[in-house]
Structure 1
Amino acid sequence: MEKPNASLIEPVGEVNFHSSKSELQSSLKKLLLKIESFFIKKGYLLLLVGFLLGRALILSKLTPFSLPFFASVYLIRKDHAPLALVGLILGAVTLSFPNAAFTFAVTLIFLVVFRISKKWLKNELRSIPLFVGIILGAGLLAESFIMQKQLTLYDAMMAGVQASLAFILTLIFLQSIPLLTMNKRRQLLKTEEIVCLIIMLASIMTGTIGWKVYDLSVEHIMSRYLVLVFSFVAGATIGSTVGVVTGLIFSLASVSSFYNMSLLAFSGVLGGLLKEGRKIGVSIGLFISTLLIGMYGEGGGSLSLSILETIAAIFLFLLTPQAFTSRLAKYIPGTAEYTAEQQKYMRKMRDVTAQRVAQFSNVFHALSKSFSQMDVLPTEEDGDRELDYFMSNITEKTCQTCFKKEQCWAKNFNTTYAYMEEIIHEMDQKDGAVSSKLSREWEKHCTRHKRVFDAIQTELTFHQANQKLKKQVKESRKLVADQLQGVSEVMDNFAKEIQRERENHHKQEEQIMEALQEFGIHIEQVEIYSLEQGNVDIEMGVPTFNGHGECEKLIAPCLSDILGETIVVNKEEFAAYPNGFYQVSFRSTKAFTVETGVAHAAKDGGFVSGDSYSTIELGLGKYAIAISDGMGNGERAHYESKETLQLLQKILQSGIEERVAIKSINSILSLRTTDEIFSTLDLAMIDLQNASAKFLKIGSTPSFIKRGSKVIKIQASNLPIGILQEFEVDVVSEQLKAGDLLIMMSDGVFEGPKHVENYDLWMKRKIQELQTDDPQEISDLIMEDVIRSRGGLIDDDMTVTVAKIKHNTPKWASIPVQKLKRRAQ
């Protein structure tokens, strides 16, 4: 007999264990939901709270809690107000029957007065504390007068104090009762709500004064338990606040409990400081506080009793489920759970925003695809159908009334159709002319040959205009499709950028701050936004130095050594007041820099040039140099070239790809005016990380790269912008190197030399003969040579730009920083 396979037995046991565990968890969850439904949804929690507040006292005599509690419940949860009233009366009965009767009477008076005056109230929430204070004060005065047959100053003062307390307690209960009645709370707690909740909980616990279990005071156990919970959840600040407020209310209720305020406050501080030790650490804080305050404040007899009460509170605290404390921590500012909840909400909003942007991107992509699919090439069948419609229009005007209609189109259909097809083809190709041979043959075949020629000529004119319009519509569709695709790509990249959240760099921030402080530099704060290679982004709060460039000379070199790449100062915001801290941002430097020089002159030495130039610093680590030459000279040409560059700059900075950007500019300029005003565009895009360059030349002259003694010509053939609505942009790519000189010029410079047959050779020779590598000097020398060659005359607008590619060498070398690993690991 074979033995059972152990590998089959073990998983079954494991499955049974997990299934029983999951069943236990589901049963506990159902039980908790039933308890929560019983106490919160059905309102029996308000019955319990009302019972404790009904017997709560201040100064062993005053009972200001009952009416404020009932009024708040009546305004917030009217359906649960009867339960609250029953609880209050039951609690008041435990004190005395007259107290219960007084509670019922003032509650009844409040209901009558409030219902009567409700018609004239504009804001019930603001007026109800005033109603409660007045009714309770008047009720106390009436009670004193009935019992004593007179009113004393003492009675009036006590009634005033109790009415004032009722006014304040109503405001507090209006803030805190919603926290007890709404089981699905989503909003985060405000500081005022937390304080109101603490006051209410402490007031509720005063209803337990006098209760003892095995000589242990229930109010002491519950107050210490409350401090333990809040110290564990929110730390020392909230813990000490809870201790002070709870102790103060207990001391007002019973003067003998005054020492409890110092015990609870000290327990809140010590327990919050030991929060890192979890529940055990907070419990130890309460135990130490009990020993210290007990030994200082009272004798040894009550010390043991106080220690037993502390142990009971700790026992209840240790039994408190983690789910309760975690849920409470989500609503208290400053806790890790609160921060996590906020980050969760921000991530949700970020994801929703990114999703919406991505959806818009998909919409634009779909529109682009839809426009692209419209450009379907015509088939042979479509051509035949179009020819049939064309002939049908002609025969309708000529052959329908002819007596030989039957002879031509019934008996000799093929011959007549072939003749007319050939005539239409020749007229289309030869601008309305027909060969003499075909004309003679058609005259023999048709009795109305001249009338047919005229009809074909007229119809062909309309047909050609229609075809031209269709072609323009097709070109416009393709341009719109490209532009929509460009917008789609920009929005898609934006959606991805949104989803890149700021990383947590707390450890690296502390390490950088420690390293700089060991070096002797005092830093207020460090915020790291990115440590990505080549894209480091750090901000610091730095004290105001003596203006000797300490950030550039000391801090940036230290960061360069720490992070293993060159870091420089990007921006400084000086302090608003003397001896304050100012914000400094540090960024990674690019591998290359571009130094430029420009020389330009207007025609005949004028002030307004038709040429425009621009050096554009794009935010993606790219550097753009552009020259635009408007057609002609003067203000109109200057306006056109300047407008072209401004459009280019804005579109490129939005992130749209270069080709789409230039096509968009061409479309705008060609559709904006019917005048024949055109512009050339010479654009060079240089990547500062690897020095690769893209050249886009639209009707512009060649550019030159000087590399040592070698001169490289960059040329592309495109018509100027604004002539055609549709054209292909030729992109020429070239890898630049450190030390290269990029020379770009307008046609006034390239074609400026007089008596020169080959402009290319002349310009190359002049560039090779240059003895300097300074961009500004080179641009001035080229401009001077061209003007000299024309005898000092300037016959056209002239612009020349020179860019020198250089390795980005930091001004200050990195400073070695000890005790810190590279990249702040």
Structure 2
Amino acid sequence: MLKTEFVLSKQKKINNLFDFDSQQVLCMILAFFIGRANILDKLTPFGISFISAYIIIGKLNIFVLISTILGIFTFHGLKGMDYFIVIIVISLLFNNSNRLKNLSIIGSSIVSSILFTMVKFAFVIVFKPMFIYDIFTILFEGVVVFALTYIFCHTLSMESSEIRYSSENLICGIITLSLTLTGMQNMSIAGLSVKRILSVLIILYLGFSEGAFIGGAAGISLGLISHISQPEMPFILSIYGLAGMLTGLFKDLGKIGSSLGFLLGNCIISFYINGYGTSFIKPWELGISVILFLLLYNVLNNYFSGYMEVALGRMKERSYSQRKDEITINRLKEISKVFGELSATFKGAAKYEKKFDAEKIYKLIDDIANSLCANCGMRKFCWEEDFHTTYNLIYNTISLMEGNKCITEDNLPPSIRDYCINKDEVIEIMKTHFNIFEANALWEKKLLENRELVSEQLKEVSNIIEKTINDIYTKPIFKEDMEEEIYASLKNKKVDVKNVIVIELDKNKLEIYVDVDKSYKGKNSQENIERIVTDTVDIPLKVEFILDLPKNEGKRFKLIRRNRYSALTEVVTIANDYNNISGDNYTFGEGDNNYFVALSDGMGIGKRANNESNIAIELLESFLEAKFDKKLTLKTINSILMLKSNDEIFTTFDISLLDLYSGKLQAIKMGAPATFIKRNNEVKIINSQSLPVGILKDIDFNIYEEYLEDGDIIIMMSDGVLEANRNIENVEQWMKDIIKNINSINPKVIADTILEIAKKVSKNQIRDDMTILVTKVWKNR
């Protein structure tokens, strides 16, 4: 059970005593009108309960205290002195008694009730003759003080972590608002009741934002409490209760629908009671309340939504979700840091090893000298008496070998050729040791290159994780107004929609989740939902994925903004006549705002060529899906092909990357034949002289960039297609003329036509594999 000592610390209580801000102004207004709220036109225990709750939870503020006292005196005048004395007694005792501070809220509420009852009895005994009626009245007020103090404590104790939040907390808040409206009594403007206008506004807001249950509960509470001293209270209670429930039930139709639901509830009860008589709520009061609701809903929601989140426990659930995100982000940061440190370690090791080239040369000379001269009779003259000369002679000989010169007796230094008694052995031993040295240096060089490559890959992994962290950090904006609009449109179109969530992650990044029931129905199909939602929000959308919900018949559709451009690829391929195994491999697909097409032609023909190109394509797909940098991707594939086997393995690469938002094409070629872009009746040729991947350590590729237009067609092909015509020297111009003369814009027709012409000119002798990829690009309307 919650104890008052856990609500606020002592220092915070002292700070709150003289605190004054906009929040305190609202509390002062509540305190003033609650102080004026009455029962039987003379009993005002509510102000005592309100200020007691403030004192118990440690939020006592001098300005709120004064407002409560003023509210009581504006109703009673000096006759309210007994209530004033009660407030002073409760304030002094609770602020100076440690035992009272350690009580639970319910215990403190009982003490407040007892103190109120004792002071009232004492005041009546001293200043008035006592009647039985007075005794019952005081006891009744004591019970009200106990109940309302407990309720107000739960209304005001939202800072406590000890409270289990539920709908009951919100009901306590509604009771507090009801008592505030009760304190307004007969306040009116131009004959219109302020209390009724605000009551209807509150019911409309709560019914629309929280549903039928809260709307009905708010209506019953406001009708009962705010009109408790008025004879029409039962009728107002019925109107508010039914109207509140209908407001919540019609929330799916938007704010207008909720307003109509309230009007319907008012008409039903009013007609039942009065027939065709006058409504208990004036039409002008209803009209003004509806207009205020439509105009001020967002303002009210911004102010009260936080309270609703806490009161209904949603804030706690969101807090758990945020904590999960923080744990995930921190873990990803740790992993990213580890990869970054590993990258730096490999890079540092590669740089560190390069510093020992000279020392290795010196060691080579020592090995040669020890192998050749250790047992030589002339050692004393060469190494002991003339060490520096001999050392330099061997060093110069090694330099000749390093320059790829073959060492013979003729090009030996004169001192070795004329004076060394073992010059033939010198040549053989130096060759042997230098070959070993050169092989070791080559492997060390490869090891260093691989370390640098691993370093770059680890760094890229670290960067990808950092980007993922930034995506998680992106705070989504939930577009509630758009959710309502989409939900209403789907309902009107007879779609069995269960829920709609609209999230704005970036300026141009919108995600819409639609949950439907009975997905087997035609009206709940992907195409229908996509069309309805697109028409509703007036933004081109597409379904990115479909998820089966826990219940067998339900599905969740995720819709995202459709790109400005779309692309479609058609492929035709035919293997060579020698073994019918194609060495060409290809891939194409759509990612986040991009479209890619890739063609790889392995060295030679047959199974080995197919294996080489397949490896390259699979690696490319994996790296593109992981969002690796293009240059690092190609460098990694190149290194893997070089390291995979001792034999030469290489393959061509022809890659087209299209930004579907801007229409920008990037064509990357590595040993690949020409690519053709057809625009209306013009054909452009994209060519490159770079080598295939897997041949050299340092890859060389060119990136051709161009902005495509609506209807452009990209044609990529393997070299077997161009080399089919051996009678023409300029095969690129030949292919350009063929493409230009094709009168179709269908990519499948274009691909089939080119293949048929290539087969025809080669007389159906397929000497090399032929693959053609035709991609059509168009602008979305």
Q: TM-score range by the shorter chain?
A: 0.5 to 0.7
Output the amino acid matched with 1:558. T
1:493-532 map, 5 Å: 493-511=467-485, 525-530=499-504, 532=506
Q: 1:32 to 1:413 in 2, by over 3 A?
A: same
Equivalent residue, structure 2, for 1:690? 662
Q: Does 1:341 align with 2:321?
A: no
Q: Does 1:644 align with 2:582?
A: no
Equivalent residue, structure 2, for 1:287? 225
CA distance in 1: counterparts of 2:430 and 2:613, whole angstroms: 46
Output the amino acid matched with 1:596. T
CA distance in 2: counterparts of 1:36 and 1:415, whole angstroms: 102
The Cα of 1:540 is off from its aligned counterpart by 3.8
Equivalent residue, structure 2, for 1:102? none
Output the amino acid matched with 2:718. S
CA distance in 2: counterparts of 1:486 and 1:574, whole angstroms: 35
1:795-814 CA deviation, whole Å, 9 max, x = no partner? 121101111221122xxxxx
The Cα of 1:653 is off from its aligned counterpart by 0.9
Please, which of 528, 551, 557 is the counterpart of residue 535 of structure 2? 557
CA distance in 2: counterparts of 1:572 and 1:396, whole angstroms: 75
SS of the aligned residue for 1:398 comes to: helix
1:652-671 map, 5 Å: 652-671=624-643
1:145-193 CA deviation, whole Å, 9 max, x = no partner? xxxxxxxxxxxxxxxxxxxxxxxxxxxxxxxxxxxxxxxxxxxxxxxxx
Q: 1:389 to 1:547 in 2, by over 3 A?
A: closer
The Cα of 1:700 is off from its aligned counterpart by 2.4
Q: 1:649 to 1:517 in 2, by over 3 A?
A: same
CA distance in 2: counterparts of 1:452 and 1:293, whole angstroms: 126
The Cα of 1:397 is off from its aligned counterpart by 2.4
Equivalent residue, structure 1, for 2:340? 365
Equivalent residue, structure 1, for 2:146? 222
Please, which of 761, 772, 777 is the counterpart of residue 749 of structure 2? 777
Output the amino acid matched with 1:399. C
CA distance in 2: counterparts of 1:490 and 1:437, whole angstroms: 57
Q: Does 1:789 align with 2:761?
A: yes
Equivalent residue, structure 1, for 2:513? 539
In 1, are the aligned partners of 2:583 and 2:606 still within 8 Å (CA)? yes
1:184-195 map, 5 Å: none
Q: 1:551 to 1:795 in 2, by over 3 A?
A: same
Q: 1:216 to 1:704 in 2, by over 3 A?
A: same
In 1, are the aligned partners of 2:409 and 2:424 still within 8 Å (CA)? no
Please, which of 465, 473, 476 is the counterpart of residue 491 of structure 1? 465
CA distance in 2: counterparts of 1:520 and 1:294, whole angstroms: 42
In 1, are the aligned partners of 2:489 and 2:532 still within 8 Å (CA)? no
Please, which of 450, 457, 460 is the counterpart of residue 434 of structure 2? 460
Equivalent residue, structure 1, for 2:562? 589
SS of the aligned residue for 1:394 comes to: helix
What CA RMSD, in Å, does the superposition of the two structures yield over aligned residues?
5.0
Gaps of 5+ in 1: 1-17, 53-210, 244-268, 297-328, 810-825
Deviates more, 1:446-455 or 1:465-474: 446-455
The Cα of 1:685 is off from its aligned counterpart by 1.0
Q: 1:427 to 1:477 in 2, by over 3 A?
A: same
CA distance in 1: counterparts of 2:96 and 2:631, whole angstroms: 64
Equivalent residue, structure 2, for 1:610? 583
Equivalent residue, structure 1, for 2:673? 701
CA distance in 2: counterparts of 1:693 and 1:804, whole angstroms: 12
1:125-152 CA deviation, whole Å, 9 max, x = no partner? xxxxxxxxxxxxxxxxxxxxxxxxxxxx
CA distance in 1: counterparts of 2:97 and 2:768, whole angstroms: 89
In 1, are the aligned partners of 2:486 and 2:533 still within 8 Å (CA)? no
The Cα of 1:497 is off from its aligned counterpart by 0.7
The percentage of counterpart residues that share the same residue type is: 25
Gaps of 5+ in 2: 1-11, 20-54, 61-93, 112-134, 159-164, 175-198, 208-217, 235-303
1:197-236 map, 5 Å: 214-216=138-140, 218-227=142-151
Equivalent residue, structure 2, for 1:471? 445
Q: Does 1:408 align with 2:332?
A: no
Q: 1:480 to 1:458 in 2, by over 3 A?
A: same
Q: 1:528 to 1:437 in 2, by over 3 A?
A: closer
In 2, are the aligned partners of 1:368 and 1:485 still within 8 Å (CA)? yes
SS of the aligned residue for 1:216 comes to: helix
| TM-score w.r.t. length of structure 2 | 0.61
Please, which of 348, 353, 357 is the counterpart of residue 328 of structure 2? 353
SS of the aligned residue for 1:214 comes to: helix
Equivalent residue, structure 2, for 1:727? 699
Output the amino acid matched with 1:343. R
Q: 1:396 to 1:504 in 2, by over 3 A?
A: same
| TM-score w.r.t. length of structure 1 | 0.58
Q: Does 1:598 align with 2:571?
A: yes
1:36-115 map, 5 Å: none
CA distance in 2: counterparts of 1:442 and 1:332, whole angstroms: 97
In 1, are the aligned partners of 2:683 and 2:740 still within 8 Å (CA)? yes
Q: 1:530 to 1:772 in 2, by over 3 A?
A: same
The Cα of 1:559 is off from its aligned counterpart by 2.0
In 2, are the aligned partners of 1:274 and 1:285 still within 8 Å (CA)? no
The Cα of 1:573 is off from its aligned counterpart by 7.5
Equivalent residue, structure 2, for 1:11? none
CA distance in 1: counterparts of 2:350 and 2:452, whole angstroms: 8
CA distance in 2: counterparts of 1:271 and 1:236, whole angstroms: 20
SS of the aligned residue for 2:430 comes to: helix
Q: 1:636 to 1:431 in 2, by over 3 A?
A: same
CA distance in 1: counterparts of 2:310 and 2:204, whole angstroms: 15
In 2, are the aligned partners of 1:704 and 1:711 still within 8 Å (CA)? yes
Equivalent residue, structure 2, for 1:311? none
Q: 1:615 to 1:423 in 2, by over 3 A?
A: same
In 1, are the aligned partners of 2:511 and 2:561 still within 8 Å (CA)? yes
In 2, are the aligned partners of 1:559 and 1:567 still within 8 Å (CA)? no
Q: 1:336 to 1:538 in 2, by over 3 A?
A: farther
CA distance in 2: counterparts of 1:558 and 1:31, whole angstroms: 51
Output the amino acid matched with 2:225. F
SS of the aligned residue for 2:766 comes to: coil
Size of the aligned set, in residue pairs, is 569
SS of the aligned residue for 2:699 comes to: coil
CA distance in 2: counterparts of 1:384 and 1:643, whole angstroms: 40
In 2, are the aligned partners of 1:633 and 1:796 still within 8 Å (CA)? yes
SS of the aligned residue for 1:590 comes to: coil
SS of the aligned residue for 2:658 comes to: strand
The Cα of 1:467 is off from its aligned counterpart by 0.7
CA distance in 2: counterparts of 1:665 and 1:292, whole angstroms: 85
1:402-426 CA deviation, whole Å, 9 max, x = no partner? 3433433454444323322222122
Output the amino acid matched with 1:684. S
CA distance in 2: counterparts of 1:37 and 1:363, whole angstroms: 57
Deviates more, 1:711-720 or 1:646-655: 711-720
1:568-587 map, 5 Å: 568=542, 584-587=557-560
In 2, are the aligned partners of 1:699 and 1:719 still within 8 Å (CA)? yes
Deviates more, 1:426-435 or 1:540-549: 540-549
SS of the aligned residue for 1:604 comes to: coil
Equivalent residue, structure 1, for 2:774? 802
1:804-823 map, 5 Å: 804-809=776-781
Q: 1:231 to 1:366 in 2, by over 3 A?
A: closer
CA distance in 2: counterparts of 1:358 and 1:450, whole angstroms: 64
The Cα of 1:742 is off from its aligned counterpart by 1.4
